[in-house]
Structure 1
Amino acid sequence: MMKLLRSSSNPWRGYAISRVFGALFYSTEVLPSSSSPPFELLHSRIWQIRNPRDSILPVLRQWRVEGGDVKQPELQGFIKRLRGYRRYCHALQISEWMSDEMKHVLRPGDIAVRLDLTSKVHGLEEAERYFDSIPESLKVVPVYGALLYCYAKHNCLEKAESVFEKMKELGFLKVPLCYKTFILKWVNMER
């Protein structure tokens, strides 16, 4: 039997060893449970809401009432996944909740994502209003790039040119993505 376990061609070899080590490190000690509900529970609650007309906010508020804690990176992860599934309305709700109710400080990347989501959910005019409300100190490359992308997506060539010129004035055009976005959209509109 031992000879079989030592044989490198034996497919059960790794299994036997893992069972031995598993038994050695097995413990009957009960780990203390945390007072907050597991994070996976919030994740499953959010994913159960499929209809874009249904708000995610009651789920988030209930989570907080139950003592659940949500950190900013977790919320950013939700937003990213929801955007990946084109659930823009729900992603925007989480973005707004993150800053309005949780009082998390938004970074330029968060602002750029919200600008894009606002454009997709509420239209370009609302996105422009949101952009105008952003403090000048936070209007950096990702934010201007998001606005440029919104204009390009909505085929607003004149506004895109204006943002492009503003970015040039501010020295933001060292980022190749801005050129690519602008040029590709301009070429598509000329066709």
Structure 2
Amino acid sequence: MSARPDRESLPYRDCVGVAVFNQEGNVFIGRRKPDEGTEDRTEVEAPWQMPQGGIDKGEDPLRAALRELYEETNISAVSLLAEAPEWIYYDLPDEALGIALKGKYRGQRQRWFAFAFTGGDSEIDVLSPGGGKHPPEFDAWRWERLTRTPGLIVPFKKQAYEKVVEAFADIPQRFTHV
């Protein structure tokens, strides 16, 4: 058994997170697909989350957010509402350190964006995302209240999601008071 790497010696992976709001002010969440060979799973083992992903070398974070959103959900009909004012961090739990994120990172440093979804639900396709050119990361999706998302995510990302809720707290009201 190999020793766990020293957390402090590992960098954070630069990523984006995407909050997509529908006309009712609810946010898109996808249920993480189970890992290969683990078809039976509980809600805890395959929690819900908003789209997120890595920023490619030299890529603008906003461009990365739009790319990741399309690659994970097939959504392209959006307009930018807001960007979180600062990077939001989360650390991997000890048992995942040196394993998750290819073993190279201690966690993620995320730039979060909020978008208004301007398309129809028929545009969303989590089973054949990115025009069918990307493997699915989700096996189901739904619209949910932003304030409920911290309770639906894996526990080690809960504080990060609480910061996302705080950053975008005013957005749902923009839709409900039109």
TM-score, with structure 1 as normaliser: 0.25
Structure with greater strand percent:
2
Larger Rg: 1
Higher RCO (C-alpha 8 Å, min separation 6): 2
